[in-house]
Amino acid sequence: MEKKKRTVRSFANPPKRESQKMGGDMLTQQHMGEETNINNIMDKYRKTGTLPVATGKPLFGDFSNGMEFADAQMNIIRAQEEFDELPANIRSKFNNNPADLLDFVADEENRDEAEKLGLIPHENKKKVPEPSKPEEPVKTAKNEPDGKEGSDGAD
């Protein structure tokens, strides 16, 4: 059995670089090459003294009460665990994808089917009685006319 010779690689003895020839269609947008080339951008800056301005609209707002990354990850894990606890036939109905299930139950048109599958609780479909009209005020001696118009009590 022949032993392989081990080669120690270092800064002085780097590994040989091998290039791969890629074939097929490119996924990059070549028509934007000139305007995104850093050399062209810097040439324009030297001539005009200004850098190109972003054309997108800025988004302003208070995002301080947003979810932290770790909280978002925990929500994803919790959703996956709860989805995995569902019966196999229900999971397969949603392509074993919790996102498909969430899209399904978010659509109000699917409420009846979601109730049948046991995904959401049945809604009580009892009619809530309409509020009754306020009663008319009860007439008392103070607000009823006494039949004596213009009398001040002195005869």
Residue 8 has pLDDT above 60, yes or no: yes
Average pLDDT over residues 145-151: 53
| Residue-by-residue DSSP string for 30-91 | GGGHHHH-HHHHHHHHHHHS-PPPP-SPP-----TTSPPHHHHHHHHHHHHHHHHTS-HHHH
pTM more than 0.85: no
**Whether pLDDT at 35 is above 90:** no
The whole-number average pLDDT for the span 94-113 is: 91
Residue 121 pLDDT: 85
Query: What is the mean pLDDT of the segment spanning 117-139?
Result: 68
Instruction: Place 130 in a pLDDT band, splitting at 50, 70 and 90.
Output: low
CB atoms under 10 Å from CB of 101, counted, come to: 22
Judged by DSSP in three states, 100 sits in: helix
